Structure formats: C-alpha cells, structure tokens
C-alpha cells in the first residue's frame, strides 16, 4: 500500500511493513527532548511514579533555554532540578548556560537529529527537524517521561497535505514568508492532526535555514509534523555533525494525500501575520502605517545564522528608529560566535540594537523583552496569541528577519525594499 514519507518513517520505527492513516501504532524513538519548562514536570512524574531508569542515556536531550539565564528563583530551581536529574541519571546531552542554544536550532547543529529519525520533544516546535527528513513532533511532559522510560511513544498515523513549492524565492523573501503564507491560506487548524509534506522543484532553492523555519511553524496550522525530502543540501548540512548514517525515506509516487496546496515562490511577497493568530496574514506592501515599539529577531524559528545575516544586511550603516527597542538573539552559541566573527554583532550594536545570549525569552513572554499594555512588536518568532509577549493588551506581528530589521529602522512595519 502506498505511503507518505511520514508514514514510511513511522512504519519503519513500528517494525511494520506498512501503515495507513488512522492506525494506532507504537514506535521506537531515536531521541526524546525536553527543556527547562517541560522537563521538570516530566522528571517529577517519573520519580513520583517510581521510575529510576531511562531507556538510553545517550538518546535524551535536555536543553535549558526557555527562562535562562535563570530569570527568577523559581526558574533557577527548575533548572537545578533538571541539572541534578541529568547528573544522577547520566544524561550526556544536557545543555546548560554556556553550551545551550534554543533547542530546535541546537539539536540539528549538534547532529543529534538526522534524516530518518523519529523524535518526540516536550515542546510544540519539535516539528522543526522535519527539515532534515526526520519525523518529529511535540508532546507534553507526561509523554516525554514515558518516552524517557520506555523509548517508545504511541501515535495515530496521520494523513497528509502535500505542499507543492514551485519557482524560486525572490529578493527579501524567505522561508518565513512561505510558512506564513501557507498558514494564512489553510488557517491555524488547517492541518490539524495531519502531516505537511513539502514537495516540488521549489525546494531545491530553499536553504536549510529556510527549511528549518518552515518545518518549525507546521504546528501553527495544527500539523503533527512538517517534513522535507532529503537532498544534497540536507546531506551537506549533516556532514561532520554525526557519526550515525542518515536513512533516507521517500514518499511513494502514488502516496495518498488529502489535498495538495501549491505555492509559487516566484510571486511570494514579504508577509506579516497580524495579532492575534498566525493565520491573519497580509503582504507587507498592502498594509497601512503600523507604528511599533519593539523588534525581536531570534527564536527557534528565525535565530539561525542566515537570519542574523539577513537582519544585519538591512541594519548595516543604519540606525534603529527613535523610540524602538531592537533585540537580537542568536539562537545558539555557535551562531553567536559566527555573528562576532562575521562582524554582524558590531553592525547590530552600532545600529542601536542589543545582542542577547541565546534564550527563548521574549518569544513566549518569559523575559528579555516583555511588552507593556498597548505596545506593539514586530517579531521573527512563531506565535502572536493574546499576551504571548507580555501584557494581554500588547500586540505581536510575525515577520521575517528582513521585515523585522527594516521595521526597526523605519519605526513601522516595513519591507527592506522601501529602504533601497
């Protein structure tokens, strides 16, 4: 029976020849991930129920990224709990301040996820690794605990939407615009419980950072996962990061898809999602003046080196507008170092932006850039729900690093083409 790419990966991990949509299966996991918000709950559950062993010390990753460097005493206690657990249980992939980065940028960078893997993470943006041709999905703390104990998770096999990408991205248009456009088209529940499988000749032109960004926001249309086929760029990315051998799965030619959505990259424009849902999308050239108070450039969606380069290309030799606070957050220590080596940090600081150590911080209203009532931010993050970045009466507009940086310069939501 014909299968989608996702179904093939799940079947292989369930030890089955084939699976079909709706089937309940138990799969073996290659990696279980958690962070400083979700892991303490999982650890408490585990220990409370009397489990004192994990399935594999090498295949658990704990990343202290959300409220770190510890924003308050409670957050410090949470990190301490995870740190103690990692030490006591011999978890080798524990990433604390100094080594940590934002989990979904860090794990691929460290080679901890590769093509063909099945991964669960107690963070909704775990779907990011679909960019590598892996099946990965977000779960809660209890599923994480069960995964750490047993190395297994149960799933309902998803059906899929095929997203066919044609053409090539134009100047100032990025993976962020692709995914915002898609969410605008199908809605925040348009792919609920289903896979998004990206196909088409347009993929070849997308960088890995574009693909990570696109797969990252699959959850924002409700998808279980978003996945890309493995090509030369994928293999080149993994080169030197892992000693494991990637396993390449491909969808059958006659794989069953619920529907096909086609996106022409040639005609795609810089896009922004208005509050308070990521589906409220508009092209930047179609909107009125919207003055802003803050810009955030970073996160698991857009904190990678290409995002930093895009922002720096706009901010170079320019100044952040008066009255605007611009916060740049490289997603990992490696990206942070690259920013220094490539002179991007200097560009940001000269422009009047600040450059922070890696943290999820402002994206979820944790710390490092909380909004007051009535304030408005343009952010390269992934959610603009009510109260997401602070006060329930604040507003978040989601956009690419190009648009965010240009908006920082003009003080209103703008495309960099307005500055050319």
Partner 1 sequence: MKIQGKVHKYGDHVDTDVIIPARYLNTAKPEELAAHCMEDIDKTFVEKVQKGDILVAGVNFGCGSSREHAPIAIKASGISCVIAKNFARIFYRNALNIGLPILECPQAGEEIAAGDEVEVDFDSGVITDRTTGKSYQAEPFPPFIQNIIAKGGLLASLK
Confirm if 106 and 63 have CB atoms less than 8 A apart.
yes
Strands 31-35, 118-121: parallel, antiparallel or unpaired by DSSP? parallel
Q: Residue 52: CB partners within 8 Å, gap ≥ 6?
A: none
| Minimum distance, C-beta of residue 218 to partner 1, in the bound complex (Å) | 12
Confirm if 183 and 273 have CB atoms less than 8 A apart.
yes
The residue (of 184 and 390) whose beta carbon lies closer to partner 1 is 390
In which element (H, E) is residue 108 found?
helix 103-109
Query: Of these, 1, 2, 57, 72, which contacts partner 1 (CB under 8 A)?
Result: 72
Residue count, binding to partner 1 (CB under 8 A) = 52
How far is residue 306's CA from residue 267's CA, in Å, rounded to a whole number? 22
The residue (of 302 and 410) whose beta carbon lies closer to partner 1 is 302
| Minimum distance, C-beta of residue 277 to partner 1, in the bound complex (Å) | 6
How is residue 113 annotated by DSSP?
S
Q: Is 364 among the residues that bind partner 1 (CB under 8 A)?
A: yes
Peptide bond preceding 276: is omega within 30 degrees of 0, i.e. cis? Answer: yes
The residue (of 273 and 344) whose beta carbon lies closer to partner 1 is 273
How far is residue 66's CA from residue 199's CA, in Å, rounded to a whole number? 33
Query: Of these, 62, 145, 227, 320, which contacts partner 1 (CB under 8 A)?
Result: 145
Q: With CB under 8 A as the contact rule, which of the stretches 97-105, 145-153, 292-300, 403-411 interacts with partner 1? A: 145-153
Strands 152-156, 118-121: parallel, antiparallel or unpaired by DSSP? unpaired
Query: Of these, 16, 20, 28, 45, which contacts partner 1 (CB under 8 A)?
Result: 45
Confirm if 133 and 227 have CB atoms less than 8 A apart.
yes
Q: Residue 200: CB partners within 8 Å, gap ≥ 6?
A: 163, 164, 165, 166, 262
| Minimum distance, C-beta of residue 138 to partner 1, in the bound complex (Å) | 4
Q: With CB under 8 A as the contact rule, which of the stretches 64-72, 195-203, 310-318, 345-353 interacts with partner 1? A: 64-72
| Minimum distance, C-beta of residue 373 to partner 1, in the bound complex (Å) | 12
Q: Is 277 among the residues that bind partner 1 (CB under 8 A)?
A: yes
Q: With CB under 8 A as the contact rule, which of the stretches 41-49, 54-62, 307-315, 328-336 interacts with partner 1? A: 41-49
How far is residue 85's CA from residue 73's CA, in Å, rounded to a whole number? 18
The residue (of 123 and 209) whose beta carbon lies closer to partner 1 is 123
Q: Which among 205, 179, 209 has a CA at the least distance from the CA of 191?
A: 179
The residue (of 105 and 347) whose beta carbon lies closer to partner 1 is 105
Order of strands across the sheet that contains 395-398: 281-283, 271-273, 395-398, 376-379, 294-297, 325-328, 354-355
Q: Is 41 among the residues that bind partner 1 (CB under 8 A)?
A: yes
Confirm if 11 and 27 have CB atoms less than 8 A apart.
no
Q: Is 67 among the residues that bind partner 1 (CB under 8 A)?
A: yes
Distances (CA, A) of 268 to 59, 181, 274, 383, 415: 39, 8, 18, 21, 13
In whole angstroms, how large is the CA radius of gyration of the chain?
20
| Minimum distance, C-beta of residue 288 to partner 1, in the bound complex (Å) | 25
How far is residue 379's CA from residue 365's CA, in Å, rounded to a whole number? 12
Residues 13-32 that bind partner 1 (CB under 8 A): 24
Q: Would you mind telling me the total number of residues written for the chain in this entry?
A: 420
Residues 246-275 that bind partner 1 (CB under 8 A): none
> x/- binding map, residues 118-137, to partner 1, per CB under 8 A?
---xxxx-x-----------
Each residue of 56-68: b (16+ CB within 10 Å) or e? Answer: eeebbbbbbbbbb
Q: Is 192 among the residues that bind partner 1 (CB under 8 A)?
A: yes
Q: With CB under 8 A as the contact rule, which of the stretches 98-106, 188-196, 313-321, 400-408 interacts with partner 1? A: 188-196
> x/- binding map, residues 383-412, to partner 1, per CB under 8 A?
x-xxxx-x-x--------------------
Query: Of these, 11, 14, 27, 46, which contacts partner 1 (CB under 8 A)?
Result: 46
The binding site for partner 1 (CB under 8 A) comprises 24, 37-38, 40-41, 44-46, 49-51, 66-67, 71-72, 74-75, 78, 121-124, 126, 138-143, 145-146, 149-150, 154, 188-189, 192-193, 219, 222, 224, 277, 364-366, 383, 385-388, 390, 392
């Amino acid at each position: 029976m014909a299968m989608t790419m996702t179904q093939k990966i799940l079947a292989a991990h369930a030890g089955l020849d084939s699976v079909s949509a709706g089937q309940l299966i138990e799969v073996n996991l290659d990696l279980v991930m958690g962070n400083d918000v979700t892991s303490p709950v999982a650890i408490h559950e585990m220990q409370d129920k009397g489990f004192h062993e994990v399935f594999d010390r090498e295949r658990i990753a704990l990343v202290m990224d959300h409220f770190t460097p510890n924003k308050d005493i409670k957050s410090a206690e949470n990190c301490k709990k995870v740190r103690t657990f990692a030490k006591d249980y011999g978890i080798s992939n524990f990433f604390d301040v100094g080594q940590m980065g934002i989990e979904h940028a860090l794990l691929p960078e460290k080679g901890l996820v590769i093509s063909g893997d099945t991964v669960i993470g107690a963070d909704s943006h775990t779907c990011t690794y679909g960019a590598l041709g892996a099946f990965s999905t977000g779960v809660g703390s209890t599923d994480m605990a069960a995964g750490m104990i047993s190395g297994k998770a149960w799933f309902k096999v998803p059906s899929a939407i095929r997203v066919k990408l044609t053409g090539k991205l134009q100047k100032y248009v990025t993976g962020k615009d692709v995914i915002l456009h898609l969410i605008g088209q199908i809605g925040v529940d348009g792919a609920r419980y289903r896979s998004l499988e990206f196909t088409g000749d347009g993929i070849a032109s997308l960088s890995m950072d574009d693909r990570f960004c696109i797969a990252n926001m699959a959850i924002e249309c409700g998808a279980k996962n978003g996945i890309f086929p493995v090509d030369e760029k994928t293999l080149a990315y993994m080169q030197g990061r892992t000693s494991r051998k990637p396993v390449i799965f491909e969808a059958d030619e006659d794989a069953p898809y619920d529907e096909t959505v086609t996106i022409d990259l040639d005609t795609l424009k810089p896009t922004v999602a208005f509050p308070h849902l990521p589906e409220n999308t508009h092209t930047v050239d179609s909107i009125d003046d919207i003055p802003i108070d803050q810009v955030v450039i970073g996160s698991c969606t857009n904190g990678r080196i290409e995002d930093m380069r895009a922002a720096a290309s706009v901010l170079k030799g320019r100044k952040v507008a008066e009255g605007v606070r611009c916060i740049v957050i490289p997603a990992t220590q490696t990206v942070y170092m690259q920013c220094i080596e490539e002179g991007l940090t200097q560009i940001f600081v000269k422009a009047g932006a600040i450059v922070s150590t890696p943290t999820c911080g402002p994206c979820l209203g944790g710390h490092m850039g909380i909004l007051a009532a009535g304030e408005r931010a343009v952010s390269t993050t992934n959610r603009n729900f009510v109260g997401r970045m602070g006060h329930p009466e604040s507003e978040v507009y989601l956009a690419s690093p190009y648009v965010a940086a240009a908006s920082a310069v003009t003080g209103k939501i703008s495309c960099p083409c307005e500055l050319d």
